[in-house]
């Protein structure tokens, strides 16, 4: 409707990987020239800490009090899945766990917006993030959990970077 506008979404994992999973996959597949910031804290935080599709195996949530079992599915790796779409611009997974990782995340988000400004198409930055209340951990422990535990299931890195091409 307004191709001159800068458009971004800011979505949790409950939203992006579950409630809005169909929408994100087709927006990416259409190579919409938008930027998605995907805040993955592995639970539905706002509604009380229920299991999300990204919840880690054996992770305790309010709906998996004994830990997530495989019968409920394995953690969905949205960045890897979306990066299979060859024509999109950029997908990176970062974390917000300490000063350096936050600065790296900032650079990734900047790059994602530059893709959009340069009309290169769909860009997404996944940010592994804490929810210390939902995780029932101290804030400091939850940052350690991101670094040592979440990254085992959700490795950091660039999954898609299409250079020097324009989409439109
Ligand atoms: C279609 C729809 N279903 C249910 C809800 C209710 N709801 C609001 S926030 C939320 C949880 C969101 O979790 P997540 O996206 O992981 O974000 P977080 O709160 O963890 O940052 C839900 C289920 C909603 N807003 N829209």
Beta carbon of 133 within 6 Å of any ligand 1 atom: no
Buried b (16+ CB within 10 A) or exposed e, 94-123: bbbbeeebeeebeebbebbbebbeeebbbb
pLDDT at 165: 54
Entry pTM: 0.95
Domain ranges of the chain: 8-161
pLDDT at position 163? 74
> Ligand 1 centre and the CA of 18: distance in Å?
9
Instruction: Using the mean position of ligand 1's atoms as its centre, give its distance from the Cα of residue 33 in Å.
Output: 24
Task: Encode the chain (168 residues) as per-residue pLDDT tens digits.
Answer: 888 999 999 999 999 999 999 999 999 999 999 999 999 999 999 999 999 999 999 999 999 999 999 999 999 999 999 999 999 999 999 999 999 999 999 999 999 999 999 999 999 999 999 999 999 999 999 999 999 999 999 999 999 998 755 544
For residue 44, the ligand 1 atom closest to its alpha carbon is: 13
Residue 166 is predicted with a pLDDT of 52
- Cβ(52) to ligand 1 under 6 A? yes
Specify the CATH architecture of the domain 8-161: 3-Layer(aba) Sandwich (3.40)
Output phi, psi for 124, to 5 deg: -140, 135
Report the 3 state secondary structure along the chain.
CCCCCCCEEEEEHHHHHHHCHHHHHHHHHCCCCCEEEEEECCEECCCCCEECCCCCCCCCCCCCCCCCCHHHCCCCCHHHHHCCCCCCCEEEEEECCCHHHHHHHHHHHHHHHHHHHCCCCCEEEEEECCCHHHHCCCHHHHHHHHHHHHHHHCCCEEEEECCCCCCC
- pLDDT value for 168: 47
């Amino acid at each position: 409707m307004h191709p001159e506008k800068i458009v971004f979404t800011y979505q949790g994992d409950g939203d992006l990987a579950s409630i809005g999973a169909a929408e994100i996959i087709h927006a990416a597949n259409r190579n919409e020239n938008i930027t998605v910031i995907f805040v993955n804290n592995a639970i539905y935080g706002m509604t009380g800490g229920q299991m999300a599709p990204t919840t880690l195996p054996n992770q305790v949530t309010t709906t998996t009090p004994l830990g997530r079992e495989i019968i409920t599915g394995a953690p969905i790796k949205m960045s890897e899945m979306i990066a299979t779409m060859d024509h999109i611009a950029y997908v990176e997974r970062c974390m917000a766990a300490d000063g350096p990782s936050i600065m790296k995340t900032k650079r990734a988000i900047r790059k994602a917006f530059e893709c959009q400004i340069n009309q290169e198409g769909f860009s997404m930055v996944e940010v592994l993030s804490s929810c210390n209340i939902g995780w029932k951990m101290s804030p400091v422990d939850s940052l350690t959990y991101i670094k040592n535990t979440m990254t085992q299931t959700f490795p950091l890195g660039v999954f898609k970077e299409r250079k020097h091409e324009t989409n439109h």
